[in-house]
């Protein structure tokens, strides 16, 4: 499986979201292509992304998050929701599909202002439902989360 790792240098992630998070004072919100995250995030040829959580500083504590960019055509972020629990979120707003950005407490849609908690739960519309999750598998032996 690890033999299929592709070059992670393709910049398919959301630079704007990183800038917005920085402006909001969130501290480092790592992206898949950041040098600091590159060793812990690998994109496979089949489009899946494998995250070695111990190697990604943003995921070392609860409520940490990291943007993965597009995973099989979907903008995705991983959120550490607990001691050893992670959620892979589809960052498309459930109202009309605009990609949400990071804000201080969660996610904000730039189109019409829907707000979501860090774990994707809807806090304010016009969206009517939570951010969707993306299929992910946790491998406790390796400490990896495979997304997509
Ligand atoms: S598309 Fe997000 S609030 Fe409308």
Say if 100 falls within a structural domain. Answer: yes
pTM (two decimals): 0.76
User: What's the mean pLDDT in 22-27?
Assistant: 41
Ligand 1 centroid distance, CA of 19 (Å): 20
Q: Can you tell me the distance from the alpha carbon of 88 to that of 102, in angstroms, rounded to the nearest whole number?
A: 14
Q: Is 42 in the pocket of ligand 1 (CB under 6 A)?
A: no
Residue 18 phi/psi, 5° resolution? Answer: -65, -45
* Residue 109 vs residue 58, higher pLDDT: 109
Task: Of 143, 133, 141, 138, give the one whose Cα is nearest residue 40.
Answer: 143
**19 lies in which domain range?**
13-31+61-137
Which residue has its alpha carbon closest to ligand 1 atom 1? 96
Helices and strands (H, E) in the chain, number of each type: 2, 12
Q: Could you tell me the CATH number of the domain that includes residue 108?
A: 2.102.10.10
Number of structural domains the chain divides into = 1
Give the rounded percent of residues in the chain with a pLDDT score beyond 90: 59
Pocket test for ligand 1, best of 126, 129, 132 (most atoms within 8 A of CB): 126
User: What's the mean pLDDT in 61-90?
Assistant: 92
Say if 20 falls within a structural domain. Answer: yes
Say if 122 falls within a structural domain. Answer: yes
Say if 49 falls within a structural domain. Answer: no
Measured between alpha carbons, how far apart are the two ends of the chain, in Å?
14
- Quote the pLDDT of residue 37: 52
């Amino acid at each position: 499986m690890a033999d299929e790792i592709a070059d992670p240098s393709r910049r398919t992630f959301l630079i704007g979201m990183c800038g917005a998070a920085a402006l909001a004072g969130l501290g480092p919100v790592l992206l898949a292509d950041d040098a600091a995250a590159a060793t812990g995030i690998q994109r496979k040829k089949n489009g899946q992304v494998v995250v070695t959580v111990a190697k990604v500083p943003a995921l070392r504590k609860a409520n940490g998050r990291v943007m993965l960019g597009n995973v099989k055509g979907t903008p995705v972020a991983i959120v550490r929701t607990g001691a050893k629990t992670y959620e892979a979120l589809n960052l498309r707003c459930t109202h009309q599909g605009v990609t949400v950005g990071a804000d201080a407490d969660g996610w904000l849609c730039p189109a019409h202002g829907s707000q979501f908690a860090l774990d994707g739960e809807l806090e304010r519309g016009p969206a009517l439902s939570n951010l969707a999750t993306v299929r992910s598998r946790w491998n406790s032996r390796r400490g990896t989360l495979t997304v997509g």
